[in-house]
Structure 1
Amino acid sequence: MSPTEEDELTGIHCRLDELLAERGMTLTRLSEIVGVSVVNLSILKNDRARAIRYSTLSAICRALDCEVGELLVRAD
């Protein structure tokens, strides 16, 4: 299933890739900061995650200095 098909199922798109690019940060560096594996962050980044812990969401937003609504958006 492609990320586009996943978006249609969940209705949510993760903007992690764009936020990392805007901040000049790598997925590996974010992984080190938040304590989540690169594999799990990659799953989130590619819109394949089925769930995310609030603590993980909070840590990612803190590391990227963003709000939840900047990271996760509705895929219309």
Structure 2
Amino acid sequence: MPIIVNLDVAMAKKKMSLTELSEKVGVSMTNLSLLKKGKVKGVRFNTLEAICQALDCKPGDILDYEEP
């Protein structure tokens, strides 16, 4: 999969746990965990926006592209 999810890196930089991020974003811990592991087919823009607000980052800090 050429899209790399760096949510764990962004969370570590802000020293934020999955539980805390889940509470701030309003997304279940299960769904955030799946996103963190790269096990999702997509992410809604409003979810991405909420994650970026909570972590004070940009989408490019969370998502990256790797040549296949």
Q: Normalized against structure 2, the TM-score is what?
A: 0.93
How do 1:1-76 residues align onto structure 2 when only pairs under 5 Å count? 7=1, 11-76=2-67
Q: Tell me the amino acid that sits aligned with residue 64 of structure 1.
A: L
Matches of 1:29 and 1:75 in 2, distance apart?
29
C-alpha deviation, 1:75, in angstroms:
2.5
Select the structure with the greater relative contact order (CA < 8 A; seq sep ≥ 6): 2
Unmatched 5+ stretches in structure 1: 1-6
Which amino acid is 2:20 matched to?
A: R
RMSD of aligned C-alpha atoms? 0.8
Structure 1's consecutive aligned runs of 4 or more residues displaced over 6 angstroms after TM superposition are none
Structure 1 length normalisation: TM-score?
Answer: 0.84
Aligned-residue identity in percent: 46
In structure 2, stretches of 5+ residues that fail to align are none
Length, aligned pairs only:
67
- Select the structure that is richer in helix: 1
Q: Distance in 2 between matches of 1:40 and 1:25?
A: 16
The one-letter code of the counterpart of 1:40 is: N
